[in-house]
Protein backbone atom coordinates (compact mmCIF):
# COMPACT_ATOMS: atom_id res chain seq x y z
CA UNK A 1 0.00 0.00 0.00
CA UNK A 2 1.58 3.24 -1.15
CA UNK A 3 1.19 6.79 0.20
CA UNK A 4 -1.40 7.82 -2.42
CA UNK A 5 -3.68 4.92 -1.45
CA UNK A 6 -3.43 5.82 2.23
CA UNK A 7 -4.26 9.46 1.46
CA UNK A 8 -7.28 8.40 -0.63
CA UNK A 9 -8.58 6.24 2.22
CA UNK A 10 -8.09 9.08 4.71
CA UNK A 11 -9.93 11.48 2.38
CA UNK A 12 -12.87 9.09 2.05
CA UNK A 13 -13.05 8.58 5.82
CA UNK A 14 -12.94 12.35 6.38
CA UNK A 15 -15.61 12.91 3.71
CA UNK A 16 -17.98 10.37 5.25
CA UNK A 17 -17.32 11.66 8.77
CA UNK A 18 -18.18 15.24 7.83
CA UNK A 19 -21.41 14.15 6.12
CA UNK A 20 -22.47 12.08 9.12
CA UNK A 21 -21.57 14.92 11.53
CA UNK A 22 -23.72 17.37 9.55
CA UNK A 23 -26.55 14.81 9.33
CA UNK A 24 -26.37 14.26 13.09
CA UNK A 25 -26.42 18.00 13.86
CA UNK A 26 -29.44 18.56 11.61
CA UNK A 27 -31.38 15.66 13.17
CA UNK A 28 -30.47 16.81 16.68
CA UNK A 29 -31.76 20.32 15.99
CA UNK A 30 -34.92 18.94 14.37
CA UNK A 31 -35.50 16.91 17.52
CA UNK A 32 -35.24 20.06 19.66
CA UNK A 33 -37.67 22.00 17.46
CA UNK A 34 -41.25 20.78 17.78
CA UNK A 35 -42.49 22.33 14.53
CA UNK A 36 -39.64 20.89 12.49
CA UNK A 37 -40.12 17.50 14.17
CA UNK A 38 -43.72 17.42 12.95
CA UNK A 39 -42.58 18.49 9.47
CA UNK A 40 -39.95 15.74 9.40
CA UNK A 41 -42.52 13.14 10.47
CA UNK A 42 -44.83 14.33 7.69
CA UNK A 43 -42.10 13.89 5.08
CA UNK A 44 -41.32 10.38 6.35
CA UNK A 45 -45.05 9.52 6.19
CA UNK A 46 -45.31 10.70 2.54
CA UNK A 47 -42.23 8.69 1.53
CA UNK A 48 -43.58 5.53 3.21
CA UNK A 49 -46.98 6.07 1.57
CA UNK A 50 -45.32 6.46 -1.83
CA UNK A 51 -43.33 3.22 -1.40
CA UNK A 52 -46.46 1.42 -0.23
CA UNK A 53 -48.44 2.75 -3.21
CA UNK A 54 -45.77 1.56 -5.65
CA UNK A 55 -45.65 -1.87 -3.98
CA UNK A 56 -49.45 -2.33 -4.10
CA UNK A 57 -49.80 -0.80 -7.55
CA UNK A 58 -51.99 2.14 -6.45
CA UNK A 59 -51.72 4.24 -9.61
CA UNK A 60 -53.76 7.28 -8.51
CA UNK A 61 -52.08 7.52 -5.12
CA UNK A 62 -48.67 7.09 -6.72
CA UNK A 63 -49.36 9.81 -9.30
CA UNK A 64 -50.53 12.30 -6.67
CA UNK A 65 -47.56 11.60 -4.44
CA UNK A 66 -45.18 12.01 -7.37
CA UNK A 67 -46.45 15.58 -7.80
CA UNK A 68 -46.14 16.14 -4.03
CA UNK A 69 -42.55 14.87 -4.03
CA UNK A 70 -41.71 16.87 -7.18
CA UNK A 71 -43.05 20.23 -5.98
CA UNK A 72 -42.99 19.55 -2.24
CA UNK A 73 -39.44 20.83 -1.55
CA UNK A 74 -40.22 24.19 -3.15
CA UNK A 75 -43.50 24.47 -1.25
CA UNK A 76 -41.78 23.55 2.03
CA UNK A 77 -39.13 26.23 1.54
CA UNK A 78 -41.81 28.87 0.98
CA UNK A 79 -44.25 27.74 3.68
CA UNK A 80 -41.73 26.80 6.37
CA UNK A 81 -39.16 29.52 5.70
CA UNK A 82 -39.21 30.77 9.34
CA UNK A 83 -38.68 27.23 10.69
CA UNK A 84 -35.86 26.50 8.22
CA UNK A 85 -34.18 29.76 9.16
CA UNK A 86 -34.63 28.80 12.81
CA UNK A 87 -32.85 25.47 12.42
CA UNK A 88 -29.96 27.14 10.55
CA UNK A 89 -29.67 29.67 13.37
CA UNK A 90 -29.72 26.86 15.92
CA UNK A 91 -26.87 25.11 14.11
CA UNK A 92 -24.87 28.28 14.60
CA UNK A 93 -25.89 28.64 18.25
CA UNK A 94 -25.31 25.03 19.27
CA UNK A 95 -22.42 24.66 21.69
CA UNK A 96 -20.20 21.61 21.65
CA UNK A 97 -20.31 21.53 25.45
CA UNK A 98 -23.17 23.20 27.32
CA UNK A 99 -22.18 25.07 30.46
CA UNK A 100 -24.38 22.82 32.61
CA UNK A 101 -22.24 19.85 31.58
CA UNK A 102 -19.03 21.27 33.02
CA UNK A 103 -20.53 21.91 36.46
CA UNK A 104 -19.29 19.75 39.28
CA UNK A 105 -21.75 17.71 41.32
CA UNK A 106 -21.65 20.31 44.12
CA UNK A 107 -22.21 23.19 41.66
CA UNK A 108 -25.14 21.42 40.02
CA UNK A 109 -26.55 20.57 43.45
CA UNK A 110 -26.30 24.22 44.51
CA UNK A 111 -27.95 25.35 41.26
CA UNK A 112 -30.98 23.10 41.74
CA UNK A 113 -31.15 23.87 45.48
CA UNK A 114 -31.22 27.66 44.95
CA UNK A 115 -33.72 27.52 42.08
CA UNK A 116 -36.07 25.21 43.99
CA UNK A 117 -35.82 27.33 47.15
CA UNK A 118 -36.73 30.45 45.19
CA UNK A 119 -39.56 28.72 43.34
CA UNK A 120 -40.97 27.28 46.57
CA UNK A 121 -41.08 30.75 48.18
CA UNK A 122 -42.66 32.36 45.12
CA UNK A 123 -45.19 29.53 44.85
CA UNK A 124 -46.38 30.13 48.41
CA UNK A 125 -46.39 33.93 47.98
CA UNK A 126 -47.99 33.72 44.51
CA UNK A 127 -45.23 35.71 42.86
CA UNK A 128 -45.16 35.21 39.09
CA UNK A 129 -41.83 34.00 37.73
CA UNK A 130 -40.20 32.57 34.62
CA UNK A 131 -36.76 30.97 34.94
CA UNK A 132 -35.02 29.50 31.88
CA UNK A 133 -31.95 27.26 32.14
CA UNK A 134 -29.69 27.11 29.09
CA UNK A 135 -28.35 23.76 27.96
CA UNK A 136 -26.60 22.95 24.65
CA UNK A 137 -28.37 25.55 22.48
CA UNK A 138 -27.07 29.04 23.22
CA UNK A 139 -29.61 31.64 24.36
CA UNK A 140 -27.27 34.54 23.63
CA UNK A 141 -29.77 36.16 21.23
CA UNK A 142 -32.23 36.56 24.10
CA UNK A 143 -29.56 37.52 26.62
CA UNK A 144 -28.24 40.34 24.43
CA UNK A 145 -31.69 42.00 24.38
CA UNK A 146 -32.25 41.66 28.14
CA UNK A 147 -30.73 43.34 31.21
CA UNK A 148 -27.32 41.82 31.83
CA UNK A 149 -26.54 40.60 35.35
CA UNK A 150 -24.03 37.72 35.34
CA UNK A 151 -24.42 37.12 39.06
CA UNK A 152 -23.89 34.05 41.21
CA UNK A 153 -27.05 31.97 41.54
CA UNK A 154 -28.97 32.56 44.78
CA UNK A 155 -32.60 32.13 45.78
CA UNK A 156 -32.64 35.59 47.35
CA UNK A 157 -31.61 37.26 44.09
CA UNK A 158 -34.17 35.28 42.06
CA UNK A 159 -36.94 36.24 44.50
CA UNK A 160 -35.94 39.91 44.44
CA UNK A 161 -35.95 39.98 40.61
CA UNK A 162 -39.52 38.69 40.40
CA UNK A 163 -40.82 40.60 43.42
CA UNK A 164 -43.89 42.71 42.46
CA UNK A 165 -43.15 46.23 41.19
CA UNK A 166 -39.56 45.30 40.34
CA UNK A 167 -38.93 46.68 36.81
CA UNK A 168 -37.59 43.27 35.70
CA UNK A 169 -40.29 41.02 37.13
CA UNK A 170 -42.35 40.83 33.91
CA UNK A 171 -39.61 39.21 31.84
CA UNK A 172 -37.72 35.96 32.28
CA UNK A 173 -34.41 35.12 33.92
CA UNK A 174 -31.80 33.11 31.98
CA UNK A 175 -29.33 30.92 33.86
CA UNK A 176 -26.12 29.78 32.15
CA UNK A 177 -24.25 27.16 34.13
CA UNK A 178 -24.45 28.39 37.73
CA UNK A 179 -24.74 32.10 36.84
CA UNK A 180 -27.79 34.33 36.40
CA UNK A 181 -26.89 35.88 33.04
CA UNK A 182 -29.78 38.29 32.61
CA UNK A 183 -33.26 39.34 33.68
CA UNK A 184 -36.18 40.80 31.79
CA UNK A 185 -35.68 38.45 28.82
CA UNK A 186 -38.48 38.14 26.28
CA UNK A 187 -39.15 34.74 24.67
CA UNK A 188 -41.27 33.57 21.72
CA UNK A 189 -44.74 32.45 22.76
CA UNK A 190 -46.04 29.03 21.81
CA UNK A 191 -48.96 28.70 19.44
CA UNK A 192 -49.50 25.04 20.34
CA UNK A 193 -53.11 23.95 20.58
CA UNK A 194 -52.21 21.58 23.43
CA UNK A 195 -51.72 24.38 25.95
CA UNK A 196 -54.77 25.38 28.00
CA UNK A 197 -56.32 28.59 26.69
CA UNK A 198 -56.65 29.89 30.24
CA UNK A 199 -52.87 29.99 30.64
CA UNK A 200 -51.28 33.37 30.03
CA UNK A 201 -48.25 34.77 28.23
CA UNK A 202 -45.78 33.60 30.86
CA UNK A 203 -46.71 29.92 30.37
CA UNK A 204 -46.77 30.29 26.58
CA UNK A 205 -43.32 31.89 26.65
CA UNK A 206 -42.04 29.08 28.89
CA UNK A 207 -43.27 26.52 26.39
CA UNK A 208 -42.25 28.55 23.34
CA UNK A 209 -38.54 28.71 24.22
CA UNK A 210 -38.45 24.93 24.78
CA UNK A 211 -40.04 24.36 21.36
CA UNK A 212 -37.21 26.25 19.65
CA UNK A 213 -34.28 25.27 21.90
CA UNK A 214 -33.33 22.53 24.37
CA UNK A 215 -33.68 24.88 27.35
CA UNK A 216 -35.63 24.09 30.53
CA UNK A 217 -38.29 26.56 31.70
CA UNK A 218 -39.78 26.87 35.18
CA UNK A 219 -42.85 29.05 35.60
CA UNK A 220 -44.83 30.12 38.65
CA UNK A 221 -48.37 31.40 38.14
CA UNK A 222 -49.03 34.80 39.63
CA UNK A 223 -52.77 34.12 39.94
CA UNK A 224 -52.81 30.60 41.36
CA UNK A 225 -49.24 30.03 42.60
CA UNK A 226 -49.13 26.79 40.62
CA UNK A 227 -45.74 25.54 39.49
CA UNK A 228 -45.09 24.26 35.96
CA UNK A 229 -42.05 23.05 34.07
CA UNK A 230 -41.52 23.01 30.29
CA UNK A 231 -38.94 20.86 28.52
CA UNK A 232 -38.63 19.52 24.96
CA UNK A 233 -41.82 21.24 23.86
CA UNK A 234 -43.94 19.73 26.65
CA UNK A 235 -45.52 21.69 29.51
CA UNK A 236 -45.91 19.83 32.82
CA UNK A 237 -48.58 21.91 34.54
CA UNK A 238 -49.23 22.17 38.28
CA UNK A 239 -46.43 19.91 39.49
CA UNK A 240 -45.14 19.62 43.05
CA UNK A 241 -41.86 21.02 44.35
CA UNK A 242 -40.47 17.49 44.66
CA UNK A 243 -41.45 16.69 41.07
CA UNK A 244 -39.73 19.87 39.85
CA UNK A 245 -36.60 19.03 41.83
CA UNK A 246 -36.36 15.51 40.41
CA UNK A 247 -37.01 16.68 36.85
CA UNK A 248 -34.31 19.36 37.11
CA UNK A 249 -31.79 16.88 38.48
CA UNK A 250 -32.55 14.44 35.67
CA UNK A 251 -32.53 17.01 32.84
CA UNK A 252 -29.35 18.79 33.98
CA UNK A 253 -27.34 15.62 34.51
CA UNK A 254 -24.94 15.02 31.58
CA UNK A 255 -25.80 11.86 29.67
CA UNK A 256 -22.50 10.18 30.45
CA UNK A 257 -23.27 10.53 34.14
CA UNK A 258 -26.21 8.14 33.83
CA UNK A 259 -23.72 5.31 34.15
CA UNK A 260 -21.45 6.95 36.72
CA UNK A 261 -21.78 5.58 40.25
CA UNK A 262 -20.82 9.00 41.61
CA UNK A 263 -24.31 10.31 40.83
CA UNK A 264 -26.44 7.37 41.87
CA UNK A 265 -27.47 8.88 45.20
CA UNK A 266 -27.87 12.45 43.93
CA UNK A 267 -31.67 12.40 43.89
CA UNK A 268 -31.76 10.88 47.37
CA UNK A 269 -29.57 13.75 48.65
CA UNK A 270 -32.09 16.30 47.35
CA UNK A 271 -35.08 14.40 48.69
CA UNK A 272 -33.46 14.35 52.12
CA UNK A 273 -33.22 18.14 52.27
pLDDT of residue 32: 57
What are the residue ranges spanned by the domains of the chain? 3-93, 99-271
Buried b (16+ CB within 10 A) or exposed e, 136-171: bbbbeebbeebeebeeebebebbbebbeeeeebbeb
- State residue 181's pLDDT score: 93
Average pLDDT per block of 10 residues along the chain, 273 residues long: 78 86 70 65 80 81 77 71 62 52 81 95 95 89 90 94 88 92 92 80 92 91 93 92 94 62 44 48
pLDDT at residue number 261:
42
Cβ-contact 252, 175 below 8 angstroms: no
Strand 172-176, strand 129-133: pairing = parallel
- Phi, psi dihedrals of residue 185, rounded to the nearest 5°: -75, 145
pTM over 0.85: no
As assigned by CATH, the class of the 99-271 domain is alpha beta
pLDDT at 119: 96
- State the DSSP code for 261: G
Question: How many other C-beta atoms lie within 10 A of the C-beta of residue 244?
Answer: 21
What does each C-alpha distance from 68 to 45, 51, 114 come to in angstroms?
Answer: 12, 13, 52
Q: What angle is formed at CA 135 by the lines to CA 211 and CA 186, rounded to 5 degrees?
A: 55
Amino acid sequence: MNLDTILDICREILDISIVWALFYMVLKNIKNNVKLSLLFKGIIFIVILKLLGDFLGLVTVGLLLEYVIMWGPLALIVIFQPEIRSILEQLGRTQLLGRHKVLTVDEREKLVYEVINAVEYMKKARIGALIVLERDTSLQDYISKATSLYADISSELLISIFFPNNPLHDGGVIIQGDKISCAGAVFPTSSSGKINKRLGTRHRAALGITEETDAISIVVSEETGRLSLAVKGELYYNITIDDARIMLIDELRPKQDDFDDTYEDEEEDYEGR
